[in-house]
Amino acid sequence: MKKQNSYRTPDGRAQIDWEITVKENRGRVLSMTGEYDGGSGQCDDSIAEAYPDDAIVQRLVAIWKRWHLNDMRAGTPEQMERAHLPCNVRRRQRSGPRRRLGCLRWHQR
């Protein structure tokens, strides 16, 4: 099952399209694309920058950044499990600048 919709800005210069697909074993998947200034594709930053006062654009771009292709995952299950360990556990597993960078990323979530 697919549901599609779009939002065109009042001046007609930009459009955001989205599609929600229900995939077997993956649930709902969101895909978003945009058209702006003669280009199309993943132009969410350009659209957001061009329409800072358009609440609908800003909300759609926030959803786009958070959920676009939400069924895709980088890494193996083992890598994903390790990525979600708290810093104090990972600290014992490695040391040096990479450890500090990993902790920084953890705390920025």
Query: For the segment 33-55, what is each residue's pLDDT rounded down to a tens digit?
Result: 999 989 999 999 999 999 999 99
CB atoms near residue 91 (< 10 Å): 14
Q: What is the DSSP string of 40-92?
A: EES-HHHHHHH-TT-HHHHHHHHHHHHHBTTT---S-HHHHHHHTS-HHHHHH
Q: How confident is the model at residue 27 (pLDDT cuts 50, 70, 90)?
A: confident
- pLDDT, residue 4, reads 95
Residue range 63-94, pLDDT digits in tens: 998 888 877 766 666 776 776 655 554 444 44
**What pTM value is reported for the model?**
0.64
- pLDDT, residue 44, reads 93
Q: What is the strand order of the sheet 27-36 is part of? A: 2-8, 14-23, 27-36, 39-41
Task: Write out the H or E segment, with its range, that includes residue 99.
Answer: helix 97-108
